[in-house]
Amino acid sequence: MKEKYHRAITEEVLRPFFAPAALEEIIRANVGQDALRYQFGHDHFHYDNSAFRAGDAYLAEQRRQVIETLQQTGPVSVARAAFGRLTHSAQDFYAHSNYITLWRERNPDAAPEQIDPLLPEILADARLVSGRIYAPLEYFSFFSLFAPLVLPLLPRDSHAWMNKDDPSRPGFQEAYVAARKRTRLELEEIRRVLSPAQWQAWSK
Ligand SMILES: [Zn+2]
């Protein structure tokens, strides 16, 4: 997903819960995952190349880091940064996999707002894949100037063809809503295990 949308989703979902400075720390860590050095060899950050197992493990690790840091009254900025990284990957899952396509197939007439971001039957569908990065050609597609030139040269299972990173891509609206709902669920899952004092320290 493009930085603009990671930022918009994270802000929209978390603004009611976090003080502005705390929220900014989370957003900075979220969009920091798309730094150029993390675009290569970091499939699990972005759920590229069908790295579902590694992506899920990465998410679990960030979740654990948030909770343990807060339970041990460690630095709240560490917990906020981990949550920012977590939300980035969770949001990219919908932009880079065919989850939206598989949901649409089951719900041809549903409004995007109705999407359930964690349907077990889709997560277990053997056809669930995410865009492959065809290096080095694929890297040119990250730049809008080159994208139209390399797109015809890349296979249909490539990241360039499959992504829902911005509104020009089919399925973007559904991916946006699913990413928003998932961000909210991730927050709730963590909040549930925190004491009021831990929550207060993290969010204010
Ligand atoms: Zn990403």
The Å distance, Cα 107 to ligand 1 centre, comes to 27
Dihedral sign from CA coordinates of 66, 71, 72, 75:
positive
* pLDDT tens figures, 177-203: 999 999 999 999 999 999 999 999 999
User: Looking up tokens 């894949």, which residue turns up?
Assistant: 129
66, 16, 29: which is closest to 201 by C-alpha? Answer: 66
The Å distance, Cα 3 to ligand 1 centre, comes to 8
The Å distance, Cα 66 to ligand 1 centre, comes to 20
Segments in the chain forming alpha helices (H): 3-14, 20-32, 43-46, 52-71, 76-96, 99-106, 120-123, 137-140, 147-150, 159-162, 172-193, 196-203
The Å distance, Cα 92 to ligand 1 centre, comes to 6
Contact call for residues 24 and 8 (beta carbons, < 8 A):
no
Question: Which pTM does this prediction carry?
Answer: 0.95
162, 153, 152: which is closest to 47 by C-alpha? Answer: 162
The Å distance, Cα 93 to ligand 1 centre, comes to 9
The Å distance, Cα 172 to ligand 1 centre, comes to 15
The Å distance, Cα 7 to ligand 1 centre, comes to 12
Q: How confident is the model at residue 36 (pLDDT cuts 50, 70, 90)?
A: confident
Extents of the domains making up the chain: 3-203
Q: For residue 97, what are the β-bridge partners?
A: 130
State the average pLDDT over residues 50-54.
Answer: 97
